[in-house]
């Protein structure tokens, strides 16, 4: 009974995979993600992570394609590792660490706002006299009431096996962030959903409401969910760790080049993976990356790949030293490159940070895309290197030729500049990069012939599953916008208009009394 369940598969968003009269669906226990117990004053509940598929075996969930994509990526990564002399490499997995941003509001205020209650954001409002302009919240002390909430959250998360690493204020007033430890992407995805439920539940216990909408208030920063991504296994460790001399680390450079190829070829799919009516308010604003998907490598890696493009890398920029000028403080190590908060896909030392996902979203969607495009790119790298070696080429020469070819053909996606600038919009178009500003623009990326071929080749989605997700995405977009439109009309006619009429009457009475 625990291993296989049978819920109704037609009463769930399925994009046409199931008709109303076709009810049978199956859940299956995912043994790669730990079961857990949810505590309640009235009793405890055993919760088992499961996949959810239709009668025909087609995915109705996010977990099934995530596991499929993980399997596809691992197979191709193993081929590359064997080429580098690892005869029995450990199973490669993708890792994820999602930084969750959120707002905390006093619940009494939220209950007086039908727009916040029904949509998660304000549809009407006046700008306060003091907003975010002082930039003083981020490094300020955490309010005692909020700190008490955070500590209680972390206790509950610990019970569920979710190791929280970081807690702090965020840039906007009333905005905060929690970041867990890195985990295998499948487990990280499950834990992310549990984390959001826990934040909501504990906030209520403290008389507060936790908001995950990407842009709940106009004029101040919205909330994202930066997904830090890397690959690794038990035998080689982190495959995206460059070391002190990345120009000599050919294995790292191949895996990094695979990321470059994948993001350039399938940037539209990455944009589609974070598309929603709520996240559309945030992407491109000054707290989120633009809708144009590009890669930031940093000065050190950019220099290495520039050398590769010119014939071969012979040196790497070394880490510097920060001299503070205070006798009691030691000199601090400085990274050889800065970070770029305007980049959607940025290298940050030993991983890539996908900064575009919204705070309301599951990280499963982005991780499915990342795993699948990495499978395709690593497949290409392995096939190219295997062909060259079988043809008698020296392996090191073949690696150099592969890296040069990838940088030459896909280097247009690398951008280290200001993603917020108007000039980048023009330059990106000249480079051939897509600028999919809205969900309506991005959703069709799911059903292009190239996308269907990609997911079919690696058995992540079949064509019916792709079309179903396209339909579901558009349906959710329409429903969300429709609710906001209906609520705007209702608030306008039942609250704003009567207040305006009352004021008009009072004003007319005062004028008449003069």
**CA atoms within 13 A of residue 267's CA, in its CB half-sphere:** 25
Q: Which residues pair with 103 in a beta bridge?
A: 175, 211
In contact, 354 and 99? CB cutoff 8 Å? no
Q: What is the pLDDT of residue 313?
A: 73
pLDDT value at residue 287: 67
Give every residue of the chain whose pLDDT is below 50, as ranges: none
Residue 386's contacts (CB-CB under 8 Å, 6 or more residues apart) are: 79, 83
Contact present, 339 and 346 (Cβ < 8 Å): yes
3 state SS for 198-233 = HHHHHHHHCCEEEECCCCCCCCCCCCEEEEEEEEEE
Query: Assign residue 37 a region: left if phi > 0, alpha if psi is -120 to 50, beta otherwise?
Result: beta
What is the rounded distance in angstroms from the CA atom of residue 480 to the CA atom of residue 110?
19
Interatomic CA distance for residues 240 and 95, integer angstroms? 11
- Please report, for the chain, how many H helices and E strands are present, in that order: 15, 17
Which pLDDT belongs to residue 284? 67
pTM of the model: 0.95
Other CB atoms closer than 10 Å to residue 479's CB: what's the count?
12
Residues 272/444/65/29 CA torsion (nearest 10 deg): 90
Tens digits of per-residue pLDDT, 170-184? 999 999 999 988 999
Q: What's the chain's length in residues?
A: 514
Question: What value, to the nearest 5°, has the Cα angle with vertex 301 and ends 296 and 303?
Answer: 110
User: How far is 201 from 193, CA to CA, in rounded Å?
Assistant: 13
Residues 223, 359: contact at Cβ < 8 Å?
Answer: yes
* DSSP letter for each residue of 13-74: --TTSS-TT--BEEEEE-TTS--EEE--TT--EEE--EEEEETTS-B-SSHHHHHHHHHHHH
Are 423 and 31 contacting, i.e. CB atoms less than 8 angstroms apart? no
**Closest among 324, 354, 329, 349 to 339, alpha carbons compared:** 349
**Cα(450)–Cα(53) distance, rounded to whole angstroms?**
25
* Residue (of 227, 213, 422, 407) closest to 309 by Cα position: 407
Instruction: Please write down the HEC assignment for all residues of 127-144.
Output: CCCCCCCCCCCCCCCCCH
Q: What is the mean pLDDT of the chain?
A: 93
Q: Which residue reads 């504990």 in tokens?
A: 202
């Amino acid at each position: 009974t625990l291993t296989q369940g049978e819920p109704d598969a037609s009463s769930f968003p399925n994009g046409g995979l199931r008709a109303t009269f076709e009810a049978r669906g199956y859940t299956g226990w995912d043994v790669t993600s730990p079961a857990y117990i949810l505590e309640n004053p009235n009793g405890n509940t055993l919760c088992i992570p499961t996949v959810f598929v239709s009668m025909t075996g087609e995915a109705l969930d996010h977990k099934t394609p995530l596991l499929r994509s993980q399997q596809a990526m691992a197979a191709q990564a193993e081929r590359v590792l064997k080429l580098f002399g690892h005869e029995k490499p450990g199973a490669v997995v993708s890792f994820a660490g999602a930084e969750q941003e959120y707002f905390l509001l006093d619940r009494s205020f939220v209950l007086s706002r039908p727009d916040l209650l029904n949509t998660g954001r304000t549809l009407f409002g006046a700008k306060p006299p003091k907003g975010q302009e002082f930039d003083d919240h981020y490094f300020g002390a955490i309010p005692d009431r909020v700190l008490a909430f955070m500590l209680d959250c972390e206790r509950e998360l610990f019970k569920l096996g979710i190791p929280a690493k970081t807690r702090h204020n965020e840039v906007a007033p009333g905005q905060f962030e929690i970041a867990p430890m890195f985990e295998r992407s499948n487990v990280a995805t499950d834990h992310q959903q549990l984390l959001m439920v826990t934040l909501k539940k504990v906030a209520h216990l403290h008389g507060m409401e936790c908001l995950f909408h990407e842009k709940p208030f106009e004029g101040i920063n919205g909330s994202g969910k930066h997904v830090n991504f890397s690959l690794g296994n038990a035998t080689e460790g982190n495959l995206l760790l460059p070391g002190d001399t990345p120009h000599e680390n050919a294995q790292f450079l191949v895996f990094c080049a695979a990321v470059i190829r994948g993001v350039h070829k399938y940037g539209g799919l990455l944009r589609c993976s974070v598309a929603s009516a709520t996240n559309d308010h945030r992407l491109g604003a000054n707290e989120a990356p633009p809708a144009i998907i590009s890669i930031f490598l940093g000065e050190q890696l950019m220099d290495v790949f520039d050398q590769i493009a010119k014939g071969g890398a012979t040196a790497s920029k070394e880490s510097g030293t920060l001299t503070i000028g205070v006798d009691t403080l030691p000199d601090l190590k400085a990274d050889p490159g800065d970070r770029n908060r305007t980049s959607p896909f940025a290298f940050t030392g030993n991983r890539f940070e996908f900064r575009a996902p919204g705070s309301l979203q599951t990280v499963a969607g982005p991780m499915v895309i990342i795993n699948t495009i990495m499978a395709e790119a690593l497949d290409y790298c392995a096939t190219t290197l295997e062909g060259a070696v079988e043809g008698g080429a020296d392996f090191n020469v073949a690696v150099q030729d592969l890296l040069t070819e990838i940088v030459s053909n896909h280097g247009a996606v690398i951008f280290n500049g200001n993603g917020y600038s108007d000039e980048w919009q023009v330059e990106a178009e000249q480079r051939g990069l897509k600028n999919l500003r809205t969900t309506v623009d991005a959703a069709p990326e799911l059903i292009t012939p190239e996308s269907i071929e990609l997911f079919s080749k690696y058995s992540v989605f079949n064509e019916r599953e792709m079309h179903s997700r396209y339909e579901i995405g558009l349906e959710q977009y329409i429903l969300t916008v429709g609710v906001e439109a209906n609520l705007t009309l209702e608030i306008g006619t039942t609250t704003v208009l009567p207040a305006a009429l009352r004021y008009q009457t009072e004003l007319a009475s005062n004028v008449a009394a003069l």
